[in-house]
């Protein structure tokens, strides 16, 4: 015999909640969606904190390179087999990739610390340059614009290069700037980790 059960009895209204006994029991669809968004946000913040640690390491390695040897009007000075330093531009640096870098300008030091010319366009190197530019030229209260169009990133490199090559610039100015960038990376990382604890 066929029995017809009224719709409201066959599928009781749970108010959008998962059936009893399921992993999501007692939580509405909206609550589960908010939880998913919270987890995605936390994953993004954790990745950003890790990247800031990498940026700090790049700035620190760049500072050590500049402390060992700094130059203007060129990106790198390579030690050649004859023992002489050969100054190269960013475009010519790849020809001397087997020769040790003995000095660098500000941007060259950051690129070299991040892996060299082949890593110049990687995200960690580009963001290290971004934080350096922000530390030097932007209002400290402004948010760092991590994701910028290529033209803006190229303009920042030109501004940092011009700052490095200014006639009144000295080695200690560049070292001090990179040390400040390290501190800024640490500060941003602490802020990011504190946001991880927010509900």
The per-residue pLDDT for 87 is 65
**Is 14 a residue whose pLDDT tops 60?**
no
**Is 29 a residue whose pLDDT tops 80?**
no
The per-residue pLDDT for 16 is 46
Q: How remote is the C-alpha of 12 from its chain's centroid?
A: 51
CB 176 within 8 A of CB 106: no
Percentage of the chain lying above the pLDDT 90 cut: 45
DSSP class per residue in 142-162: SPP--S--HHHHHHHHHHHHH
Find the range with the poorest average confidence among 23-37, 113-127, 168-182.
Answer: 23-37
Please report the beta strands in the chain, taking only residues with DSSP state E, as ranges in sequence order. 76-79, 85-88, 101-104
Task: Please state the domain extents for the chain.
Answer: 36-196
Find the range with the poorest average confidence among 6-15, 60-69, 87-96, 139-148.
Answer: 6-15
CB 120 within 8 A of CB 165: no
Tell me: the pLDDT tens digits for 79-131?
766 655 656 655 555 555 566 788 999 999 999 999 988 888 999 999 999 99
């Amino acid at each position: 015999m066929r029995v017809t059960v009224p719709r409201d009895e066959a599928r009781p209204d749970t108010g959008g909640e998962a059936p009893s006994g399921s992993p999501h029991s007692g939580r509405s669809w909206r609550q589960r969606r908010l939880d998913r968004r919270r987890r995605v946000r936390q994953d993004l913040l954790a990745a950003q904190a890790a990247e800031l640690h990498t940026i700090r390491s790049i700035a620190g390695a760049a500072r050590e390179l500049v402390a060992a040897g700094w130059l203007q009007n060129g990106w790198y000075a390579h030690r050649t087999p004859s023992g002489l330093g050969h100054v190269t531009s960013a475009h010519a640096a790849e020809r001397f990739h087997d020769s040790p870098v003995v000095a660098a300008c500000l941007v060259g030091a950051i690129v070299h610390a991040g892996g060299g010319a082949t890593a110049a366009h990687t995200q960690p190197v580009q963001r290290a340059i971004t934080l350096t530019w922000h530390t030097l030229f932007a209002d400290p209260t402004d948010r760092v614009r991590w994701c910028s169009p290529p033209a803006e990133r190229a303009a920042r490199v030109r501004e940092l290069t011009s700052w490095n090559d200014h006639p009144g610039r000295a080695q200690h100015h560049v070292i001090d700037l990179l040390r400040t960038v390290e501190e800024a990376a640490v500060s941003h990382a602490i802020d990011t980790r504190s946001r991880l604890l927010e509900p």
